[in-house]
Amino acid sequence: MNCLYLHPRSSGLPVQSFKSYTRQPSSYVNIPGVMNTTDLRQSVVLKAISGSTSSTEMDGAKVEEEKSEIYSNNMTEAMGAVLTYRHELGMNYNFIRPDLIVGSCLQTPEDVDKLRNIGVKTIFCLQQDPDLEYFGVDIAAICEYANTYDDIQHLRAEIRDFDLFDLRMRLPAVVSKLHKAVNQNGGVTYVHCTAGLGRAPATALAYMFWVQGYKLGEAHDLLLSKRPCFPKLDAIKSATADILTGLKKKLVTLTWKGDNCSTVEISGLDIGWGQRMPLKFDGEQGLWILERELPEGHYEYKYVVDGEWLCNKYELMTPSNKDGHVNNYIQVLDNDPDSFNATLRKRLTGDEPILTKNERLKIRETLGAHSDDD
């Protein structure tokens, strides 16, 4: 089967993590001669795996641990929850249903064999190239190796990490591609991002909610009972409302008061926690100002003032979560709160959104109409 690729916006940040099943070290012997299918599989695996241990490899392991530590810290800061990923321990995953697995990224071609051995027919990768490059994952070798088999397919459908808005915008196209792959390939589907803690569980949840007929709360409870993770429910709820009501934008203005700083930026909002957007200083008002058009929805953000992450006490703030994290937030609403679309969006983004039979049918029709190139 082919290795297919659905490409959106890109980002330069690393991603998230967890641990459960771990990869055991293996060695492979390179067989010279004609490159038949067996030889190709062995040579591809050799690109990523070494059979000996040296001081250089020990140093490399230390580097991997340090990268994991940095990544975990970035993830905790961006996601608002304490999450840990140890890339050096290898691929980890959990069965959510008998036909659906959520896990961390494949690291070597041999991981393809591990997934084939448990019945996986579709590997669904949500990572962007910078995510793979950060941990030195050779995605080309993994795809090339998967393509030597006719009973498993490797697909890519990128979502930018640490970015609630990009997740919301991308989910319909991504779940559409996932749904079509499941229908085509059957068997078990492996959905992964880098750590399997954010994008992958959110994609699996949306699929269970939109396609498999679960209530969102039921799917969420099932997921968490199988795998500790932190999917962003707000992104799934907003994406559901977007499909059924469309996207309307409104101009919003955010400000930071003070002339005793040299730079003020915003992170979060609709650009994700991995990026920052500068505010312009208005000397007459003594305010740093950002004007931006945003679709209806709930947005969290923080100011970065001369490099320091701060909340604006004059703007709305989220309650402190269990880990003590607090953000500013803004709610962008329809001008007519009593309109049909406003009422529908309010219901779908509430605590317990439940889809009617017609609403789920409309969502499935929308997913079916998506092009794989969207």
Task: Name the nearest CA neighbour of 160 among 33, 52, 271, 254.
Answer: 271
- Provide the token pair at 276: 């920052």
What is the spatial distance between Cα 213 and Cα 233, in angstroms, rounded to a whole number? 17
Q: What is the DSSP string of 58-107?
A: HHHHHHHHHHHHHHHHHHHHHHTS-----GGG---EEEEETTEEEE----
- Catalytic choice (3, 105, 125, 193): 193
Which amino acid is it at 366?
Answer: T
What residues contact 148, with CB distance under 8 A and at least 6 apart?
Answer: 37, 40, 41, 44
Do 175 and 6 meet the contact criterion of CB atoms below 8 Å apart?
no
Q: How many residues does the chain have?
A: 374
What is the spatial distance between Cα 309 and Cα 300, in angstroms, rounded to a whole number? 13
Q: Kindly provide the b/e burial profile for residues 62-99, where b requires at least 16 CB atoms within 10 angstroms of the residue's own CB.
A: eebeebbeebbebbbebbbeebbbbbbbbbbbbebbee
Residue 42: strand, helix, or coil: helix
Q: Kindly provide the b/e burial profile for residues 326-338, where b requires at least 16 CB atoms within 10 angstroms of the residue's own CB.
A: ebbbbebebeeee
Can 125 be counted among the known catalytic residues?
Answer: no
The H or E element spanning position 168 is helix 164-185
The gap between the terminal CA atoms of the chain, to the nearest Å, is 21
Q: Which residues are identified as catalytic?
A: 193
